[in-house]
Amino acid sequence: MGGGMMSGTMMSGAMGNYPVTPGWGGKVLDYADALNYIKYGQTHGTVDAQTNSVTFAGSNVIIHLVAVQPGYQDQTFELHGLANPTIIVPHGATVQLNLLNMDYGNNMEHTAVITTTPPPYPYMSMMYLGPPQVPPMPELPWRNGNDAKTAQYAALGESFIASAPGAYWYVCPAPQHAEEGMYGKFIVR
Ligand SMILES: [Cu+2]
């Protein structure tokens, strides 16, 4: 499919460095909403802590990824309480990939792109990653307050078909984030 693993919709949105505001282009969640987002995500997929992986079954896969969940280190993605887990989805599945940014602070906007380019990644990873396998989501702004319980959070999602089996990576392309380890393996099989 022209090098892409899926067909989907290009999201529109702003690039930049700013905390979440109403109308930023995606959803705005409060802390309770954020916890519910995580809980709901944990009802999908099977965790294997030994291999640090989450395996999904069926033709409709729902992934509730978090960027820098409080209590986890910069820079990581979280899913089911695992940091940067290997995500395994069935070939042909429709994947709803959602992302919640729980991070706070200057330059702590995050997103996830799916690439065939393996780590290690340079400081400026965006161009190095090559053409994304899925039209990328815009960067999600950081939470709008230092106090996690009173802050608001940006969330966004996209849908694609996992149409080409193989090994991919989900990577945060914000400068330095992938270099610091913000990526995980994404396997279609
Ligand atoms: Cu990031």
Which whole number is the average pLDDT over 91-102?
98
The Å distance, Cα 115 to ligand 1 centre, comes to: 15
Read off the pLDDT of residues 136-175 as tens digits, 9 standing for 90 and up: 899 999 999 999 999 999 999 999 999 999 999 999 999 9
The Å distance, Cα 175 to ligand 1 centre, comes to: 8
Is the model's pLDDT at 2 over the cut of 50?
no
The Å distance, Cα 40 to ligand 1 centre, comes to: 23
Instruction: List residues, by chain if needed, whose CB lies under 5 Å from ion ligand 1.
Output: 110, 172, 174, 177, 182
Is the model's pLDDT at 10 over the cut of 70?
no
The Å distance, Cα 142 to ligand 1 centre, comes to: 10
DSSP lists the bridge partners of residue 167 as 187
The Å distance, Cα 15 to ligand 1 centre, comes to: 13
Apex 110 CA angle, 79 and 101, nearest 5: 55
Is the model's pLDDT at 5 over the cut of 70?
no
Task: With beta carbons less than 8 A apart as the criterion, state whether 97 and 112 touch.
Answer: yes
User: What's the pTM value of the predicted model, to 2 decimals?
Assistant: 0.92
Mean pLDDT of the chain: 92
Tell which residue, 154, 182, 185, has the closest CA to residue 167: 185
The Å distance, Cα 123 to ligand 1 centre, comes to: 12
pLDDT at 33: 98
The Å distance, Cα 118 to ligand 1 centre, comes to: 17
Confidence of residue 118 (pLDDT cuts 50, 70, 90): very high
Which whole number is the average pLDDT over 108-137?
94
Read off the pLDDT of residues 11-68 as tens digits, 9 standing for 90 and up: 444 456 899 999 999 999 999 999 999 999 999 999 999 999 999 999 999 999 999 9
pLDDT at 124: 95
Tell which residue, 61, 148, 77, 62, has the closest CA to residue 111: 77
Task: With beta carbons less than 8 A apart as the criterion, state whether 130 and 117 touch.
Answer: yes
| Domains along the sequence of the chain with CATH | 27-188 (2.60.40.420)
The Å distance, Cα 33 to ligand 1 centre, comes to: 21
pLDDT at 13: 45
